Chains A and B, each alone.
Chain A
Amino acid sequence: MNPSISEKIHLTKEHCTELLRMMMLIRRFEERCAELYGEQKIRGFLHLYIGEEANAVGVMQALTPEDAVVATYREHGHALARGLPLPEVMAEMYGKATGSSRGRGGSMHIFNAERRFYGGNAIVGGGLPLAVGLALADKMNGRPRITCCFFGEGAAAEGEFHESMNLAALWKLPVLFVCENNLYAMGTSLERSESETDICQHAKSYRIAAGSVDGMDVVAVEVAARRAVQAVRDGNGPQFLETQTYRFRAHSMFDPELYRDKAEVEKWKERCPIKRFREWILATGTLHESEIAAIEIAIADEVENAVKFAESSPWEPEADLTRDVLTPIKRSALT
């Protein structure tokens, strides 16, 4: 790890602990979700973020609670790193009434207004125009906050990606676009889907400043995100950050992974962001093995408590099926 980088973001013991803890929490949460999927407690599509934790955790460090976050269907990590309460996220996985979306969304559609977490969008590329609009509203209201939009490299082929890049650049909107390039869109590899495989070039062609970072290195991601976010806050318009990463698991639980080599997956697993950061933390003496073990135990407890909460939570009554289709209008507001 680059020492000049570690200086810049003050890698205090507290900060390192938090970075490691959050990545480990996301990992544990999702491993548990995979088990619960096997038990059919969680259904539908389940897209795991395992291997990619450093991206959400690193980028979130650069955001304030006032900023907005837009994510995709692979958003458990983003939701947790954004500070959504673990029990409500787990309850949503179960489809319970206490879930973050009252059980209407499930794994792919986690939302939380208080945290300004705008989902949870399962239409590839669908989140980008939304982020542009959130940023437009901020700019029109003179609010000093930004919108951070996460999406996969597969989205770069969609028209909505290109339309959003242009709008954001044209109107100099306060958006940070974070492209999590894990090299595959379902079974289609980047070189089989893009004539220009350097994703940053796409952003640059709209005159958006763009850079890449090792998405398996949480500190590097944080540093790059802080720089990009500062540029957005300074009024330089949208910024684009490509995080180079890899998903260790299948695209979803239905994917037999016929399109990639086991050896390739194993090679990337050596770069596991949690393993790497943990080794660095131990080597530098920032934390001791026993302290990490204590974090692990605390996380396991937290996840089990979330499971218990989800298990014991009620189902939404069927009578309430059609609630929240439209917003109730207060009578007084009409007069």
Chain B
Amino acid sequence: MSVLRKVTYRDAVREAIQDAMHRDASVFLMGEDVGRYGGAYGCSKGLLAEFGEDRIRDTPLAEAGFTGAGIGAALGGMRPIVEIMTVNFSLLALDQIVNTAAAIRHMSGGQFSVPLVIRMATGAGRQLAAQHSHSLENWYAHVPGIKVVAPATLADARGMLWTALQDPDPVVMFEHAMLYNDEGEIAAEGDLSMPIEGAAIRRPGTDCSIITYGGSLKKALAAAAELAGENFNCEVIDLRALRPLDGKTILASVEKTHRAVIVDEGWRTGSLAAEISALIMEGAFFALDAPVARVCSAEVPIPYARHLEISATPQVAGIITAVRGVLRR
């Protein structure tokens, strides 16, 4: 029997960075306040003392500059981990990520690859209002030339980084801000690495597929648990990778359950949920017993007030209502 130990999501992220730095001397962490401050979300606390200023590199407030420098350093043979405080601030670096990191392999005719990992926090739930709370994962998932992952579990937070660093291409990693304090158990020893492609079935079921990722996974699982009391047996799929999407797992699940609800904290219009819905329509149309339903964020910049933030974003009650809706058709 494997030995387990207790960690928080934050610990898991930190250990993943620490472990990668030990295993590969070309790995370094760079971003605003990753060193002295210990990371905006505390993910790199203690690492400066262990690895020094060269490899735990505090940067000025210059998202475009240091993200671009990460791309250049990757071209130059390093394996940088660039941390951007939140997805909202990553918009200042969007040019470098989309126009350079994602494109350079193809536009150079395959001559240059960018083995870079960009980590950032995402999502609402802390009453930080419209410039700190958005879920723009789908903006990145839209772009060919990068891979996009969203570790929703402790094991993935601990295990995906190393795999991402082995990947020859840019990987953008989204850590939902409401996950950092989550506590649970992961394997204490052995190979902890996790694949950066492929979805995972977090709860098997037969009546309806709830497809989600990141910070919404626990809400989907809570909804499924409650629906089990009504004798509805939901299957919960954690996408894990947002680009490429694991269509096979999604379609196999829908072939089995004949119903699907997609939970996505992004805004409904142009969402990942819309993409998955189209994918189901194209690949499993005749297996469906009900139209696909989506639980997304309301079409509003995320507001500050608690009750408004809650009503703007997917919640357990809304997921339950959506599942009941498709099951009763």
Contact = CB atoms under 8 A, between A and B. Distances in A.
Interface stretch (B29-37, B69-77, B98-106): B29-37
A258 interface: yes
Interface in B294-311: 298-301, 303-308, 311
Interface string A118-147: 000111111000000000000000000000
B305 A186 contact: no
Interface string A126-170: 100000000000000000000000000011011110000000000
Contacts of A103: 303-305, 308
B38 interface: yes
Contact of B62 (A44, A159, A325): A159
B303 A187 contact: no
Given A124-B61, A158-B62, A44 B304 contact: yes
B58 interface: yes
Interface string B278-300: 00000000000000000000111
B220 interface: no
A259 B128 contact: no
B136 to A, nearest CB: 14
22 contacts: A44-B127, A45-B132, A95-B305, A103-B303, A104-B303, A104-B304, A104-B308, A106-B304, A108-B129, A109-B130, A154-B60, A160-B92, A185-B32, A186-B37, A186-B40, A187-B33, A188-B60, A194-B60, A259-B37, A315-B307, A316-B305, A316-B308
A109 B130 CA distance: 9
B36 A188 contact: yes
A325 B131 contact: no
A325 B308 CA distance: 14
A318 B308 CA distance: 6
Given A44-B126, A154-B61, A321-B312, A159 B92 contact: yes
Interface of A: 43-45, 95-96, 101, 103-106, 108-109, 121-126, 154-155, 157-160, 185-188, 192-194, 255-256, 258-259, 315-316, 318, 321-322, 325
B112 interface: no
Nearest to B39: A187
Given A193-B60, A322-B298, A188 B33 contact: yes
Contacts of A159: 62, 64-65, 92
Contact of B299 (A44, A106, A258, A322): A322
A157 B308 contact: no
Contact of B305 (A45, A160, A315): A315
A151 B308 CA distance: 29
Contacts of A108: 128-129, 131-132
B304 A155 contact: no
Nearest to B126: A44
Question: Which of A104, A124, A160 has the largest count of B CB atoms less than 10 A from its CB?
Answer: A104
Contacts of B306: 43, 95
B38 to A, nearest CB: 6
Given A44-B304, A186-B33, A258-B38, A321 B311 contact: yes
A158 B91 CA distance: 13
B36 A187 contact: yes
B37 A122 contact: no
Contacts of A186: 32-33, 37, 40
B303 A123 contact: no
Given A160-B92, A255-B37, A318-B307, 9 more contacts: A44-B128, A95-B308, A104-B130, A105-B130, A108-B132, A192-B36, A193-B59, A318-B308, A322-B299
B308 A321 contact: yes
B140 interface: no
A95 B32 contact: no
B88 interface: yes
Nearest to B305: A95
Given A157-B62, A318-B311, A322-B299, A109 B129 contact: yes
Nearest to B91: A123
